[in-house]
Amino acid sequence: MSDGRSGSGFGGESLLFLTDEQLRQGIEAMFFAYRGFTADPDRILAELAYGRAHHRALHFISRSPGTTVNNLLSILGVTKQSLNRVLRALVEDGLVDSRVGTLDKRERNLYLTEQGLELEQRLSDAQRIRMRSAYKQAGPEAVQGFKKVLEAMMDADMRRAYVEMREKPQ
């Protein structure tokens, strides 16, 4: 049985005995992959003077039309002040429609406008192209393993939210 110390990567070694060096390489790979994953949307967002927070809000509003501000706060893990700043810009620019709640008038339900849907589609298309290409290169077993690693890195509450969202029809 391998002790995980042979070789320099994290390829065929036993995953139960990863060295600190192998873990460091994995952490660095995540950093660089995230830069690549966000690069294309960042260029689109920069043209509009938006940032990644705007992208995340658009993504999750698109994924759950009618979501509440409180639900979005929970998913994004940002402060109310930060989210309000992002939402104010998106509403003022005609990308998000904020409607008074039907059951609770204090609640705000969020929907993307036609323009918001178009922008969200552009941003997501850029990421889908990159993900599709990476998945094709890696193959189905690696894709399943990658998904398992990502899910294992999630906190329990985030994993529950992820599973709930994943099970919603798109």
To the nearest whole percent, how much of the chain has pLDDT over 90?
75
Predicted local confidence at residue 6, as pLDDT: 40
CB of 123 closer than 8 Å to CB of 57: no
Helix (H) / strand (E) element for 128: namely helix 114-138
Predicted local confidence at residue 10, as pLDDT: 52
The band of 166, judged by pLDDT with boundaries at 50, 70 and 90, is confident
DSSP summary character for residue 108:
E
The band of 5, judged by pLDDT with boundaries at 50, 70 and 90, is very low
Query: Global pTM?
Result: 0.83
Q: What is the pLDDT of residues 25-47, one digit of tens each?
A: 999 999 999 999 999 999 999 99
DSSP β-ladder status, 96-100 and 67-68 = unpaired
Q: What is the pLDDT of residues 100-134, one digit of tens each?
A: 878 777 889 999 999 999 999 999 999 999 999 99
Structure tokens at 22: 């192998």
Half-sphere exposure for 139 (CA within 13 Å, toward CB): 2
Which residues face 100 on adjacent strands?
108
Q: What is the pLDDT of residues 95-106, one digit of tens each?
A: 999 998 787 778
Predicted local confidence at residue 140, as pLDDT: 95
Cβ atoms within 10 A of the Cβ of 45, count? Answer: 20
Predicted local confidence at residue 164, as pLDDT: 86
Predicted local confidence at residue 13, as pLDDT: 52
Question: 17 CB contacts (<8 Å, ≥6 apart)?
Answer: 2, 3, 4, 5
- At residue 115's C-alpha, the angle toward residues 112 and 117, to 5°, is 50
